[in-house]
């Protein structure tokens, strides 16, 4: 109730908004219009809503506008709801995060008996990411069976590897420990106490015109709730790790709930937002329970998570020491939502940020000479078996960079190969002084942009990778 009252006050913040707030709101709006943004945005600072607005169309075929009330797929932001459910069950005395999974699943093989709920929550279980496609008709018990029968990537607790499967297993544990279906438990124990009446899978019957249609490379992909699902929600390759739908207002209600004790105690929130494990070698961000924790560009804590399926994208940024929140959704694969959400945060913090280029990206065929030839050689080395080809590429075409051992580089390469599969260069999307950006499609599904930074001698000085948004 308190969360709902707090949001109601925030939504009606116009009477208390200062002239500076109004000028900033206009600046944010103009920036998004100039960037040709399609989707919805909410920017909230110190109890006042600076911007709450939709842009473009939620349904192009029927001319339905994307509004601040449009329902959108939050993707992997779902994971924080699953993590919260586990912590709520711990508060209720029904489980402990240090429990081994053998307490909830029968027939756990020896190599997985050491896996705990904590390992699943922090992506350190050693499990692979997925054991079925998002829309494959795989039941809970079948999914658990596949996970338990799989070969581990690493020993439990050794390595952070982002794994959707771990959160699907946590969703199954929510059902087993609570005796309730996953969505029902979340709705009764998390969503409704937070005032969130527009968040879920199937328990809500939104009017069709409120639900965003996704568009991939300009073509209609459809609505998330139009895809093949079970009667009570998505099949288990997606359930509890993604696929929940929500609204801007409900996500702000969730932020407010987490800022107090509406759903979780201080002790449980300490576990959720603790820097539990580094997200990678040399990374300055850490994974908690369903959240990534790092630092804002200007200092202070940034607690965030995004989600996407290559068509929809959502971002949830909580600059907790600045009392600043940015929530963004888009239904267009061509919108770089992650860049835009972080740009909005910088604008709200008082910085000037150039407007990104808008419109479809022009893709030019990759050539065979000069820098293009070096880039082709990198993709050939990536796609080759083993490490010898990549070692030869580094020796011939890459500047030596301190701070990371060859073993660490090869470990990263192995993970990338596992995640993306073979890479097929689609073409160049940017060719500028000192860098070339190339779009490539992975055989496992994801499309990424690989930015090759070149030194004056023509050698590769660094490679940036951006997958999807």
3-state secondary structure the chain: CHHHHHHHHHHCCHHHCCHHHHHHHHHHHHHHHHCCCCEEEEEEECCEEEEEEEECEEECCCCEECCCCCEEECHHHHHHHHHHHHHHHHHCCCCCCCCEHHHCCCCCCHHHCCCEHHHHHCCCCCCCCCCCCCCCCCCHHHHHHHHHHCCCCCCCCCCCCCCHHHHHHHHHHHHHHHCCCHHHHHHHHHHHHHCCCCCECCCCCCCHHHECCEEECCEEEECHHHCCCECCECCCCCCCCCCCEECHHHHHHHHHHHHCCCCCCHHHHHHHHCCCEECCCCCCCEECCCCEEEECCCCCEEEEEEEECCCCEEEEEEECCCCEEEEEEECECCCCHHHHHHHHHHHHCCCCCCCCCCCCCCCECCCCCHHHHHHHHHHHHHHCCCCHHHHHHHHHHECCCCCCCHHHHHHHHHHHHHHHCCEEEEEEEEEECCEEEEEEEECCCCEEEEEEEECCCCCEEEEEEEECC
Q: The tokens 């107090």 sit on which residue?
A: 260
Question: Is 130 in contact with 143 (CB distance < 8 Å)?
Answer: no
The pLDDT-based confidence of 410 (bands split at 50, 70, 90) is confident
Position 3 pLDDT exceeds 50: no
Position 360 pLDDT exceeds 70: no
Averaged pLDDT, 255-265:
96
Integer angstrom CA distances of residue 90 from 17, 175, 177: 40, 14, 10
Position 83 pLDDT exceeds 90: yes
Q: Count Cβ atoms below 10 Å from residue 83 Cβ, excluding itself.
A: 27
Question: Is 37 in contact with 55 (CB distance < 8 Å)?
Answer: yes
The pLDDT-based confidence of 359 (bands split at 50, 70, 90) is low
Its sign, for the CA torsion 232, 237, 241, 244, is negative
- Poorest-pLDDT segment among 21-35, 275-289, 395-409, 418-432: 395-409
Query: Measured between alpha carbons, how far is 309 from 307 in angstroms, rounded to an integer?
Result: 7
At residue 469's C-alpha, the angle toward residues 308 and 157, to 5°, is 65
Query: Measured between alpha carbons, how far is 330 from 74 in angstroms, rounded to an integer?
Result: 10
Task: List, for residues 164-215, the tens digit of each pLDDT value.
Answer: 999 999 999 999 999 999 999 999 999 999 999 999 999 998 999 999 999 9
* pLDDT score, position 19: 55
Say which residues have a Cβ less than 8 Å from residue 111's Cβ, sequence separation at least 6: 152
Phi, then psi, of 324 in degrees rounded to 5: -120, 130
Query: Measured between alpha carbons, how far is 164 from 185 in angstroms, rounded to an integer?
Result: 20
Question: Is 173 in contact with 95 (CB distance < 8 Å)?
Answer: yes
Position 237 pLDDT exceeds 80: yes
Position 275 pLDDT exceeds 60: yes
- Poorest-pLDDT segment among 264-268, 325-329, 438-442: 438-442
* pLDDT score, position 4: 40
* pLDDT score, position 43: 97
Question: Is 177 in contact with 89 (CB distance < 8 Å)?
Answer: yes
Sequence length of the chain is 469
Query: Measured between alpha carbons, how far is 375 from 440 in angstroms, rounded to an integer?
Result: 11
pTM, to two decimals: 0.80
Facing residues of 428 across strands? 364, 438
Averaged pLDDT, 85-95:
98
Position 240 pLDDT exceeds 50: yes
Query: Measured between alpha carbons, how far is 257 from 190 in angstroms, rounded to an integer?
Result: 9
Instruction: Identify the residue with better confidence: 401 or 413.
Output: 413
Instruction: Identify the residue with better confidence: 173 or 442.
Output: 173
Work out the mean pLDDT of the chain and round it to a whole number: 90
């Amino acid at each position: 109730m308190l969360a709902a009252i707090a949001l109601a006050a925030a939504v009606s913040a116009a009477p208390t908004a200062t002239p500076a707030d109004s000028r900033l709101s206009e600046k944010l709006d103009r920036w998004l219009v100039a960037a040709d943004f399609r989707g919805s945005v909410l920017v909230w600072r110190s109890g006042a809503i600076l911007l709450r607005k939709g842009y473009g169309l939620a349904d192009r075929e029927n001319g339905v506008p994307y509004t601040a009330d449009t329902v959108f797929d939050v993707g992997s932001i779902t994971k924080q709801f699953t993590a919260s459910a586990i912590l709520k069950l711990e508060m209720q005395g029904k489980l402990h995060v240090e429990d081994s999974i053998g307490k909830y699943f029968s027939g756990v093989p020896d190599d997985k008996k050491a896996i705990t709920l904590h390992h699943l929550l922090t992506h350190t279980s050693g499990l692979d990411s997925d054991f079925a496609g998002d829309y494959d008709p795989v039941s809970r018990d079948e999914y658990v069976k596949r996970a338990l029968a799989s070969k581990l990537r690493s020993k439990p607790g050794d390595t952070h590897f982002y794994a959707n499967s771990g959160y699907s297993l946590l969703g199954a544990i929510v059902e087993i420990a609570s005796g309730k279906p996953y969505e029902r438990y979340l709705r009764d124990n998390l969503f409704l106490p937070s005032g969130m009446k527009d968040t879920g899978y199937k328990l809500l019957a939104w009017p069709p015109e409120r639900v965003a249609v996704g568009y991939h490379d300009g073509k209609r992909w459809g609505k998330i709730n139009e895809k093949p699902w079970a009667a009570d929600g998505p099949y288990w390759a997606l359930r509890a790790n993604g696929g929940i739908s929500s609204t801007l207002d409900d996500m702000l209600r969730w932020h407010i709930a987490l800022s107090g004790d509406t759903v979780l105690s201080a002790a449980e929130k300490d576990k959720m937002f603790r820097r539990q494990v580094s997200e990678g070698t040399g990374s300055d961000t850490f994974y908690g329970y369903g959240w990534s924790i790092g630092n804002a560009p200007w200092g202070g804590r940034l607690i965030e998570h995004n989600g996407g399926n290559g068509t929809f994208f959502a971002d949830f940024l909580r600059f907790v020491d600045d009392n600043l929140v940015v929530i963004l959704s888009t239904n267009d694969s061509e919108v770089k939502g992650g860049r835009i959400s972080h740009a909005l945060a910088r604008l709200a913090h008082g910085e000037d940020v150039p407007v990104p280029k808008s419109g479809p990206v022009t893709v030019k065929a990759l050539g065979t000479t000069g820098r293009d030839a070096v880039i082709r050689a990198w993709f050939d080395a990536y796609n080759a078996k083993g490490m010898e080809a990549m070692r030869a590429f580094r020796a011939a075409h890459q500047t030596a960079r301190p701070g990371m051992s060859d073993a660490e580089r090869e470990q990263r390469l192995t993970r990338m190969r596992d995640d993306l599969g073979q890479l097929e260069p689609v073409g160049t999307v940017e060719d500028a002084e000192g860098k070339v950006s190339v779009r490539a499609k992975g055989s496992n599904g994801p499309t990424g942009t690989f930015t090759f930074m070149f030194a004056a001698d023509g050698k590769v000085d660094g490679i940036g990778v951006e997958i999807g948004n």
